[in-house]
Amino acid sequence: MGYHTSVYLLLFLPAVLVIYQLVPQKKRWIVLLLSGYAFVWMISRKLIIYLWAATLVTYYTAVRLAWTKQIRAAAVRENPDEKQELCAQFGRKEKRILFFGIGLLLAGLGYVKYFNFFAANMNLFFETAGIDLQMGTGSLILPIGISFYTLQAIGYMTDVYWNKAEVSQHLGKTALFLGFFPQIMEGPISSYSQTADQLWTGQPVNVNDLSRGTVRILWGLFKKLVIADRLYIFVRAVFDHYEEYHGVLVAAAAVAYTIQLYMEFSGCMDIVAGSAILFGVSLPENFRQPFFAVNAADFWRRWHITLGTWFRTYVFYPVSVSGPVKKWIRISRKHLSVNTSRLGVLLLTLFPVWLCNGLWHGAKWKYIFYGMYYFVILFLEGALEPVYERVLKKHSILRKAFPFQFLRILKTWCIICTGELFFRADGFRIGVCMFRSMFREFSVHELWDGTLLNFGLDKADYLAVFVGCLVVAAVEFIKEKKLPGSEGIRKQKLPVRWAAYYALILAVVIFGAYGTGYQQVDLIYAGF
């Protein structure tokens, strides 16, 4: 039951909303929690046990941390002269509790998500090395949302450890924070302070939220059904038979997949955010006009924002202030140039973040490559920044001049589409093969000589995709440039507003990719 399906939109969501409103405010959290569990049960059945286990581990760890902190504070009050020793002693204990909690959660995630990958590679190693040993592999099914709620849980426990979040003394509040049904399948990955209290309040449903939420859901459906699900047909045709295609068709498939992924993931996030708004809950945004990014670093500040924020807060910064990095900075400042020191910091801090980012997407070499691809690009961007600055100054080029900005955006598109080609390809080797085939017999005329009509899409489909993309691009342009109208359709005059509502509904109903010739496409990020 994906968020775009009629079962979710016409049955599950309205039913939960009605029950939620009928129940007294103090008990509404129970409705949300049980709905979350029903949602997970319908998809993952008994694998819901992973969510329950994660909830218990998170709750216990956070409460234990808070309790240890209280004892420390009392001990310091009683013996102020021994403050430093007591802080160090209790600090070590708190760290052990935190690491134990994180370790348990990562063990669960590691087992279901990475065990088979690890075993397969170990077996390959044993075979190559001539060692007579075999690790058994099993058919492990990934529980829905585990990659998302595990990160949320780790974030919450770490925030309690860092005194950034109030500890929840109620198991139900922790459970709801991790099991809110609109979020559980694809995020956004929120921090405890962003959503826990809102969910717990049980705010009554009101007309304003109903209208805001519905419009947001419709906008998401438009992106998913009109654009993404159509492009899926072309993308699947090329990627599934990659050996038959080369040149411009492979390049077009890479671009089409990039657009499909964005329309699908951001569309799903719109449906998720819209669903949450119906219950008076505001979730953090996951996208901010990513195709206006001027470089890869900028792109990752605009794409899957909550994942980037998570890695920055809980991996990048802790690594940046860790012993080895500090030691490097100290030594390199004494003996090397500032730039060399900076390069070392870039290497040491970016590598773990992008290795984790790649692995988070899945236990496949292509995802590790995807992470390493951005590691290399971001490293080069950081390393070449001083050279870049000098060139700009020497040639008096204004950084914000339109032609220059446009070229930078175009370059970023190339980087993004190449990355997504490897991301979508069915394995790293196939990705390399497709990338190389892009430069073979590249004939642009294949884009308009009718070749594209052999992939299951007709002219009307391409027109729907093109117009759909134009509409999304126009909305994103208005938002990016903060032009009149950027405050949203609901702030416009009545005729404009209703014309837009009708257009949106009609576009989804008439131009949505369903019925004969189309198939329902599963959400891509739900697989992570």
Partner 1 sequence: MERLMCILNELDDTIPWETEEKLIDDRILDSFKVIMLISEMENEFDIEISAEEIRPENLNSVRKMRTMIQRLQG
Read off the DSSP letter of residue 269.
H
Where in 291-330 is the site for partner 1 (CB under 8 A)?
A: 297, 301, 312-313, 316-318, 320-321, 326, 329
Gap between the Cα atoms of 182 and 286, Å rounded: 14
Residue 344: CB minimum distance to partner 1, A: 12
Residue 358: CB minimum distance to partner 1, A: 18
Contact status, residue 107 vs residue 60, Cβ threshold 8 Å: no
Tokens for 290, please give them: 């990513």
Among 272, 345, 363, 417, binds partner 1 (CB under 8 A): 345
Nearer to partner 1 (CB atom), residue 111 or residue 162: 162
Contact status, residue 252 vs residue 241, Cβ threshold 8 Å: no
479 touching partner 1, by CB under 8 A: no
408 touching partner 1, by CB under 8 A: no
Nearer to partner 1 (CB atom), residue 73 or residue 506: 73
289 touching partner 1, by CB under 8 A: no
Q: What is the DSSP string of 65-101?
A: HHHHHHHHHHHHHH-GGGHHHHHHHHHHHHHHHHHHH
Nearer to partner 1 (CB atom), residue 93 or residue 301: 301
Question: Would you give the binding string for partner 1 spanning residues 242-281, x where CB under 8 A is met?
Answer: ----------------------------------------
Contact status, residue 90 vs residue 68, Cβ threshold 8 Å: yes
Gap between the Cα atoms of 351 and 106, Å rounded: 20
Among 25, 70, 134, 163, binds partner 1 (CB under 8 A): 163
Contact status, residue 178 vs residue 199, Cβ threshold 8 Å: no
Nearer to partner 1 (CB atom), residue 35 or residue 191: 191
Residue 298: CB minimum distance to partner 1, A: 9
Nearer to partner 1 (CB atom), residue 326 or residue 436: 326
Where in 356-385 is the site for partner 1 (CB under 8 A)?
A: 382
Residue corresponding to tokens 């009708």: 502
Residue 276: CB minimum distance to partner 1, A: 22
207 touching partner 1, by CB under 8 A: no
Q: Is the peptide bond before 386 cis (omega within 30 degrees of 0)?
A: no
101 touching partner 1, by CB under 8 A: no
Contact status, residue 96 vs residue 61, Cβ threshold 8 Å: no
Residue 340: CB minimum distance to partner 1, A: 14
Task: Classify residue 337 by burial, with Cβ atoms within 10 Å: 0-12, 13-18, 19+.
Answer: exposed
Tokens for 359, please give them: 């692995």
Gap between the Cα atoms of 289 and 303, Å rounded: 8
Among 258, 286, 349, 418, binds partner 1 (CB under 8 A): 349
Contact status, residue 207 vs residue 327, Cβ threshold 8 Å: no
290 touching partner 1, by CB under 8 A: no
Phi, psi of 24 (to 5 degrees): -60, 145
Among 86, 215, 346, 416, binds partner 1 (CB under 8 A): 346
Tokens for 321, please give them: 């202030």
Tokens for 83, please give them: 């403050």
Tokens for 377, please give them: 């690009």
Gap between the Cα atoms of 286 and 302, Å rounded: 8
Nearer to partner 1 (CB atom), residue 35 or residue 61: 61
Residue 460: CB minimum distance to partner 1, A: 41
For partner 1, how many residues bind (rule: CB under 8 A)? 21
Read off the DSSP letter of residue 243.
G
Residue 186: CB minimum distance to partner 1, A: 24
The interface region with partner 1, picked from 97-105, 132-140, 158-166, 361-369 by CB under 8 A, is: 158-166
Residues that bind partner 1 (CB under 8 A): 161-164, 297, 301, 312-313, 316-318, 320-321, 326, 329, 333, 342, 345-346, 349, 382
